[in-house]
A and B are shown apart, each in its own frame.
Chain A
Amino acid sequence: MNVTTTKTNSPRFVLDAVDLTKHYVLPREKMFMKVQTIEAVKGISFRIRRGRSLGLVGESGCGKSTLARLVTGLEDPTSGSVRIAGSNIHQISKNALRKLRREFQIVFQDPFGSLDPRHTIGRIVAEPLRTLEQVSPAESQKRVLSVMEDVGLKATDIQKYPHEFSGGQRQRIAIARALITRPKLVVADEPVSALDVSVQAQILNLLNDLQQEYELSYLLISHDLAVVECVCDDVAVMHNGVFVEYGLTSELFRDPKHDYTKSLLDAVLPLPGNYRG
């Protein structure tokens, strides 16, 4: 593709995915059997504008996590392309991709499995800086402290280890680690599904605050439609590897068009009364 067009595209869209497809080859069950493949993602295209957030909803096995792995360069697509800040992340060299990772970071679901138990919080949060940017130790320390304050952690927490924190605090640490390189896009795969309701609300508010402060974009993956409505401007409903519906979150939830979206919304159990605190 022409370089000049990419450059003009880059400021408006933090992510531009075109016709993404991913096939997985299954292991043969019998020796002379034909190789079976699963099409996890079937030709999906979407863009995320700077500062806007996209929610991805769907049930297990619909391909939403595969899509997240494709757009973050953790896996190569069978066909299609992903452009982040104007570069096709699957075609550039490993070194270039590594540099580009400053622009997009990931927050995983499991706050217990995603932090190295042997490292201090200070080291965990500083890790992306050490590998992606050349900064002096003093500068690194300063950035760590400032990002930790942003996510509501104390400066003294820097010396502690992950096991000393609760699930919600660990998710804050994971968010701090994602934000330290000042990315434009944060991909969050079920960031609150392992948390208690009262803590979940704290983290959702934090995600919204951070977005406004830093003009972040989220690609938020969740099975919980209400969580997506809290954080995302747009939403894509995914089913069997394709987007069955895509649009403004408020409109789509008020007036779903596709049968699958309707069935998802129907399955949400309403709370009686209208207590709002």
Chain B
Amino acid sequence: MTLLTVEDLTVTIDTIHGPGHAVRNLSFELMPGNTLGIVGESGCGKSMTALSILGLLPDNVTTTGGIYFDHRNLLTCSDQELCQIRGNRISMIFQEPMTSLNPVHTIGQQIIEIMTLHQGTSKTEAKIEAIRLLDMVGIRDPKARISQYPHQLSGGQRQRVMIAIALSNKPDLLIADEPTTAVDVTIQKQILELIRSLVNELGMGLILISHDLGVISNMVDQIVVMYGGTAVETGTTSQIFSNVSHPYTQGLLSAIPRISGHKSLRQTRLNTIPGVVPELTELPIGCTFSDRCAIASNLCTKTPPPATLINVGHYAACHHLERAKGK
């Protein structure tokens, strides 16, 4: 049985420039204990997908399709039902550890609140559990730290506290939206390792959202590459990296500078994708990538490409997969 099924999800934002198609016909499945990464550039719809799972979308947004979790469609759940799921069965770690903690409460209060709210734990028990959680996420001297305020912690420590809060109710699904974008690389490594080991240990499902293919490829089993609100390529991590199929995924991968330790690299130019990410209100009618794609044809500008099977579980939405392969 799947833990989470996203079926034909469409998220439309009502803007002054007309409807913005943040997510279009997105489908994926996540089995319990599995890990899935959503990767894409700004405005590709990855965060909107996360927010729609948690029912945290702003008011000017309409959704269609279904997000099924525990036999319920989260899109049609009442606020009350959602409140019982959020922070309890499904938890989220946000990007900004600076702003997602409340500055006027101690970190202890913020962890304890979650447990007393959802599980009815007594305050004394919750405090003991909070100390254990802080210890688990690698915060030294948790007994003293618990009565400190967020400003007394570094960025990495704050993100650890966020993880402790997210894990306090042992959720079935953890959603991490760019959890390491705001921290240094050495801290990033520690935080990712922490998330990975905790996900394994507790048997949680994980949806990791990032713009960084390096982060994604090192953390998850399955990848959804998004562009302009649609999934352009999906598959397991090894499938995608051994056979990069969609022109966008190809472009994205080859645009990433890599450390080589060779003098020659200084002279070689990076591959670029021409143009910029299109506005959500002005997406091309056909394939969303058609205006930046080197092999786009007339067909691409008129008809959205269907998801084509490449291998069991590996799909790419492109009319010219054969030509893309030869590139």
Enumerate chain A interface residues (CB-CB to B < 8 A): 59-60, 166, 168-169, 196-202, 204-205, 208, 223-227, 229-233, 248-251, 253-255, 263-273, 275-277
Contacts and interface: CB of A to CB of B under 8 A. Distances in A.
Contact of B256 (A59, A226, A231, A249): A226
A114 B108 CA distance: 39
A66 to B, nearest CB: 16
Contacts of A227: 257
A230 B266 contact: yes
A277 B186 contact: no
B266 A264 contact: no
Given A226-B258, A267-B185, 11 more contacts: A60-B184, A169-B276, A200-B255, A249-B266, A250-B265, A264-B186, A267-B186, A269-B217, A271-B214, A277-B250, A277-B271
A272 B241 contact: yes
Interface string B12-46: 00000000000000000000000000000110000
A253 B261 contact: yes
Contact of B242 (A205, A266, A268, A273): A273
A60 to B, nearest CB: 6
B252 A272 contact: no
A201 B270 contact: yes
Interface of B: 41-42, 155, 184-189, 192, 211-215, 217-218, 237-238, 241-242, 244, 250-263, 265-266, 269-273, 276-277, 327
Contacts of B254: 275-277
B276 A204 contact: no
B269 A226 contact: no
A5 B185 CA distance: 42
Contacts of B211: 196-197
Contacts of A268: 185, 214, 259
Nearest to A58: B184
A74 to B, nearest CB: 24
Given A59-B184, A205-B269, A263-B186, A271 B215 contact: no
B222 to A, nearest CB: 14
A199 B255 CA distance: 9
Contact of A168 (B256, B259, B276): B276
Nearest to A206: B272
Nearest to A199: B276
A233 B266 contact: yes
Contact of B215 (A59, A201, A251, A269): A269
Nearest to A266: B189
Contacts, number: 127
B253 A271 contact: yes
Contacts of A200: 255
B272 A205 contact: yes
A197 B256 contact: yes
A277 B241 contact: no
Contact of A267 (B189, B213, B255): B189
B99 to A, nearest CB: 17
Among the interface residues B185, B273, B276, which one has the most CB atoms of the partner chain A within 10 A?
B185
B259 A229 contact: yes
Contact of B277 (A196, A225, A264, A275): A196
B251 A60 contact: no
B257 A230 contact: yes
22 contacts: A60-B184, A197-B41, A197-B211, A197-B255, A201-B256, A204-B270, A205-B269, A205-B272, A223-B184, A225-B259, A229-B265, A230-B257, A230-B266, A249-B266, A250-B261, A264-B185, A269-B189, A269-B212, A270-B218, A271-B217, A273-B241, A277-B250
A61 to B, nearest CB: 9
A253 B259 CA distance: 7
Given A60-B155, A225-B259, A250-B262, A277 B251 contact: yes
B250 A269 contact: no
Nearest to B264: A250
Nearest to B41: A196
B259 A196 contact: no
B270 to A, nearest CB: 4
Nearest to A208: B269
Given A230-B270, A264-B186, A277-B271, A201 B255 contact: yes
Contacts of B218: 269-270
Contacts of B252: 197-198
A17 B114 CA distance: 53
Contact of A254 (B155, B255, B261): B261
B117 to A, nearest CB: 34
Contacts of A232: 266
